[in-house]
């Protein structure tokens, strides 16, 4: 699916997206957020109150600002070339290249995982 931007906000339930090429703002109060094979021109923002967030990127970003935060859970990424400012079990903040894109995920209770297939 290709779109200019995608905004999804749910109170209860999962958000599952696959093969999306768009800027995304995804919010779930209670439920998992899963994005697979994603490409985002400028920003991908995912937030949940309770539930895990899993972001699978189509390829490694050449430039991005990374901000992953879990209040009660783990934040993990397998992205290369990240210059971390903060790198703890529950928080990863840093930059790839000049940080043109925004990749942000936050959850109060749950884990965050970000990786790239390409």
**Chain centroid to CA 59: how far?**
13
In the predicted model, residues of the chain with pLDDT beneath 50 are none
Q: What does the domain layout of the chain look like in residue ranges?
A: 2-116
104 Cβ neighbours under 8 A, 6+ residues apart: 43, 44, 45, 46, 47, 65, 66, 67, 68
Q: Any idea which residue has 């920003």 for tokens? A: 43
Q: What pLDDT, on the 0 to 100 scale, is given for residue 4?
A: 80
Instruction: Classify residue 12 as exposed, middle or buried by CB count within 10 Å of its CB (0-12, 13-18, 19+).
Output: exposed
pLDDT given at position 3: 60
Q: What is the pLDDT of residue 1?
A: 54
Give, for 75, the enclosing helix (H) or strand (E): strand 75-77
Q: Which residues are bridge partners to 16 per DSSP?
A: 34
- The confidence score (pLDDT) of residue 118 equals 60
């Amino acid at each position: 699916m290709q779109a200019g931007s995608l905004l999804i906000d749910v109170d209860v339930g999962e958000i599952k997206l696959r093969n999306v090429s768009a800027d995304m703002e995804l919010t779930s109060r209670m439920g998992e957020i899963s994005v697979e094979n994603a490409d985002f021109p400028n920003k991908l923002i995912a937030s949940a109150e309770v539930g895990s967030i899993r972001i699978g990127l189509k390829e490694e970003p050449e430039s991005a600002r990374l901000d992953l935060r879990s209040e009660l859970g783990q934040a993990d990424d397998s992205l290369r070339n990240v210059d971390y400012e903060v790198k703890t079990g529950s928080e990863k903040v840093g930059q790839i290249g000049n940080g043109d894109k925004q990749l942000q995920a936050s959850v109060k209770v749950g884990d965050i995982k970000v990786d790239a297939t390409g």
